[in-house]
Structure 1
Amino acid sequence: MRRTPGAIRILGGVLTLYLLAPFAAGLSRMGDADWRGVDRAALVHAACVSVASATAATVLIAVAGIPLGYVLARGRGWRVAVLGGVVQLPLALPPLASGILLLFLLGYGGLLGGLTHGALTESFAGIVLAEAFVAAPFLIVAARSAFAAIDPALEEVAATLGHGPGAVFRRIGLPLARRAILAGLLLAWLRAFGEFGATMMVAYHPYSLPVFTYVAFGGAGLPAMLPVLAPTLAVAAIVLVLGQAVAVPRRRRYGPLRDVLPPVAAGPAVVGPGRILVLDLRQKLEGFTLRVEYRTQARRLAILGASGSGKSMSLRTIAGLERGAGSVVRCDGRDLAALPPEARGIAYVPQGYALPPHLTVEEQVRFAVDSDPALVAHWMAAFGLAELAGRYPHELSPGQRQRVALARALSRPSADLVLLDEPFSALDAPLRARLRRDVLAVQGGIRATMILVTHDPVEAMLLADELLLLDGGGVIRAGPVDEVFSRPGGEVAAGLLGARTIGAGHVLSPARIDIGGGVALRVAGAPLSPGARVRWAVRPHQVRLDDRGDYAATILHRAAIRDGQRSVRLLLGDAVLDVVADPSCPDTGPCRVTIDPMALQVWPA
Structure 2
Amino acid sequence: MRPSKPLWWLGALLAVYLCAPFVASIPQIGQADWAGVDWHATWSAVGVSVASASVASLIILVGGVPLGYWLARSRARGIALLGFVVQLPLALPPLTSGVLLLFLIGPYSALGQFFGGTLTDSFTGIILAETFVAAPFLIVAARSAFAAVDPVHDDVAATLGHHAASRFFRVTLPVAWPAIRAGLALAWLRAFGEFGATVMVAYHPYSLPVYTYVVFGGQGLPAMMPLLLPTLGIAIICAVLSVYSRGTRAAPEVNPENGDELTAFTPAPSPPASADLRLAFAARRRLGAFTLDIAWQPQTRRLAIIGPSGSGKSLALRIIAGLEHNDAGAIMLGATDLGALPPERRQIGYMPQDYGLFPHMTVAQQLAFPVDADAASARYWLAHLGLDALTQRLPRQLSFGQRQRVALARALSRHTQLLLFDEPFAALDTPRRRRLQQSLRALQREVGAVTVVVTHDPDEAALLADELLVIEQGRVLQAGGVADVFQRPATLRVAELLGLHNVGEGIVRAGGVIETPEGLCLPCVNTTLAVGSRVMWRVSPRALAATPEGAWPGRIAGTSLRHGDRYVAVEIAGVTFDIAAEDAPATHAGELRFTIDANGVLAWPARDS
TM over 0.5: yes
CA contact (8 A) 1:501 1:578 kept: yes
- Alignment-derived partner of residue 430 in structure 2: 429
1: CA distance between counterparts of 2:239 and 2:448? Answer: 55
CA contact (8 A) 1:49 1:208 kept: yes
Partner of 1:450: 451
Give the aligned partner of residue 302 of structure 2: 300
Task: Report matched runs for 1:289-368 at 5 Å.
Answer: 289-368=291-370
Note the 1:411-430 alignment, pairs <5 A. 411-413=413-415, 415-430=416-431
Judging changes above 3 Å, is the alpha-carbon distance between structure 1 residues 235 and 404 closer, same or farther for their aligned structure 2 residues?
same
**Residues in 2 aligned to 1:401 and 1:45: alpha-carbon distance in whole angstroms:** 55
- Map 1:193-592 to 2 at 5 A: 193-253=192-252, 256=255, 257-265=257-265, 267=267, 273-413=275-415, 415-506=416-507, 520-521=523-524, 528-529=529-530, 532-537=533-538, 543=542, 556-557=555-556, 565-570=565-570, 575-582=575-582, 586-587=586-587
Q: In the TM superposition, what is the alpha-carbon distance from 1:194 to its structure 2 partner?
A: 0.4
Q: Which moves more between the two structures, 570-579 or 108-117? A: 570-579
Change (3 A) 1:223 1:147: same
Paired residues for 1:69-218 under 5 Å: 69-218=68-217
Deviation for aligned residue 1:211: 0.9
Which one-letter code corresponds to 1:171 in the other structure?
R
Q: Are the counterparts in 1 of residues 294 and 475 from structure 2 also a CA contact under 8 Å?
A: yes
- Aligned to 1:492, the other structure's residue is in SS state helix
Structure 1 residues not aligned, in runs of 5+? none
Instruction: Report if aligned partners of 2:467, 2:482 keep a CA contact under 8 Å in 1.
Output: yes
1:358-407 Cα deviation digits (max 9, x unpaired): 22223223332212112212222232222222222222222222222222
Distance in 2, matches of 1:497 and 1:423, equals 18
2:602 and 2:246 map into 1 onto residues whose CA distance is 60
TM-fit CA distance, 1:91: 1.2
Separation in 2, partners of 1:490, 1:45 = 84
Shift of 1:47: 0.8
- Is 399-408 or 507-516 further displaced after alignment? 507-516
Amino acid at match of 2:422: D
Correspondences of 1:17-32 after superposition (within 5 Å): 17-32=16-31
Does the 8 A contact of 2:277 with 2:334 survive in 1? yes
Matched pairs, number: 597
Gaps (5+ residues) in structure 2? none
Amino acid at match of 1:355: L
Deviation, structure 1 residue 222: 1.6
Is contact 1:274-1:449 (8 Å) kept? no
Contact 1:321 1:341 in 2 (8 A): yes
Q: Return the letter of the residue paired with 2:208.
A: L
- Superimposed CA distance per residue, residues 413-434 of structure 1 (whole angstroms, 9 cap, x where no aligned partner): 2x33211111121222222222
Structure 1: how far apart are the matches of 2:424 and 2:165?
28
With over 3 angstroms needed to count, the CA separation of the structure-2 counterparts of 1:518 and 1:228, relative to structure 1, is closer
Change (3 A) 1:497 1:101: same
Q: Give, in whole Å, the separation in 2 of the partners of 1:580 and 1:499.
A: 14
Deviation at 1:136, TM superposition (A): 0.6
2:538–2:601: 8 Å Cα contact kept in structure 1?
A: no
Q: Work out whether residues 492 and 504 of structure 2, in 8 Å CA contact, stay in contact via their aligned partners in 1.
A: no
Alpha-carbon shift at residue 310 of structure 1 (Å): 0.9
User: 1:138 offset after TM fit, Å?
Assistant: 0.4
- Contact conserved, 2:523 with 2:598, CA < 8 A, in 1? no
Structure 1 residues 316 and 255: CA distance shift in structure 2, 3 A: closer
- 3-state DSSP class of the match of 2:78? helix
Aligned AA (1:537): R
- Distance in 2 (alpha carbons) for counterparts of 1:309 and 1:337: 22
Q: How many Å separate the matches in 2 of 1:523 and 1:389?
A: 60
TM-score of the two chains, using structure 2 as the length reference: 0.88
- What SS class does the counterpart of residue 249 from structure 2 fall into? coil
> Alpha-carbon deviation of 1:285?
2.3
| Counterpart secondary structure, 2:26 | helix
The Cα shift of 1:261 comes to 0.8
What is the CA-CA distance between 1:276 and the residue it aligns to? 4.2
The answer to whether the aligner puts 1:43 opposite 2:45 as a matched pair is: no
Is the CA contact (8 Å cut-off) linking 2:56 and 2:191 kept in structure 1?
yes
Specify the SS of the correspondent of 1:568: strand
**Contact 2:570–2:576 (8 Å) recurs in 1:** yes
Q: Which moved more, 1:10-19 or 1:111-120?
A: 111-120
Answer whether contact 2:507 2:535 (CA < 8 A) is retained. Answer: yes
Q: Which residue of 2 aligns with 1:603?
A: 606
Return the offset for 1:595.
10
Question: Is the Cα contact below 8 Å between 1:380 and 1:386 reproduced in 2?
Answer: yes
Structure 1 residue 61 displacement after superposition = 1.0
CA distance in 1, matches of 2:553, 2:363: 56
2: CA distance, partners of 1:601 / 1:112: 83
User: How far did residue 123 of structure 1 move?
Assistant: 1.9
CA contact (8 A) 1:566 1:583 kept: no
Q: Aligned letter for 2:294?
A: V
- Normalised by the length of structure 1, the TM-score is 0.88
Kept in 1, the 8 Å contact 2:523–2:596? The answer is: no
Task: Provide the rounded CA distance (Å) in 2 between the counterparts of 1:444 and 1:178.
Answer: 41
Distance 1:584 1:493 in 2: 28
Contact 2:492 2:505 in 1 (8 A): no
CA gap of 1:509–1:68, structure 2 versus 1, over 3 A, is farther
Please tell me the root mean square deviation across aligned C-alpha atoms, in Å: 3.4
Secondary structure class of the residue paired with 1:370: coil
Give a deviation string over 1:150-198, Cα, whole Å, max 9, x none. 2222222122211222222222222222221121111111100100111
Moved more, 83-92 or 590-599: 590-599
- SS in structure 2 of the partner of residue 470 of structure 1: strand
Q: What fraction of aligned residue pairs are identical, expressed as a percent?
A: 48
Greater Cα offset, 108-117 or 511-520? 511-520
CA contact (8 A) 1:34 1:224 kept: yes
1:579 CA displacement: 3.1
Q: CA contact under 8 A between 2:323 and 2:343: conserved in structure 1? A: yes
The one-letter amino acid of 2:577's match is: L
* TM superposition shift of 1:39: 0.9
The superposition leaves residues 545-598 of structure 1 with CA deviations (integer Å, 9 ceiling, x where unpaired) of: 899xxx999884496796864322346898531133449974456788889979
The structure-2 alpha-carbon separation of the partners of 1:564 and 1:211, relative to structure 1 and needing over 3 Å to count, comes to closer
Q: Which moved more, 1:177-186 or 1:261-270?
A: 261-270
Check 1:583–1:228 CA distance in 2 against 1; reply closer, same or farther (3 A cut). Answer: farther
Higher alpha-carbon deviation: 500-509 or 89-98 = 500-509
Q: Distance in 2 between matches of 1:558 and 1:573?
A: 12
CA distance in 2, matches of 1:275, 1:85: 53
1:211 counterpart letter in structure 2: V
Q: Is the 8 A contact 1:477 1:493 kept in 2?
A: yes
Report the more deviating stretch, 498-507 or 305-314.
498-507
Distance 2:359 2:542 in 1: 47
Q: 1:560 to 1:509 in 2, by over 3 A?
A: closer
The one-letter amino acid of 1:349's match is: M
Q: Provide the rounded CA distance (Å) in 1 between the counterparts of 2:430 and 2:597.
A: 27
- Report the AA paired with residue 196 of structure 1: F
* CA 1:120–1:528: 2 relative to 1, 3 Å: farther
**What is the deviation of 1:259?**
4.1
Distance 1:301-1:511 versus aligned 2 partners, 3 A rule: farther
The corresponding residue for 2:32 is 33
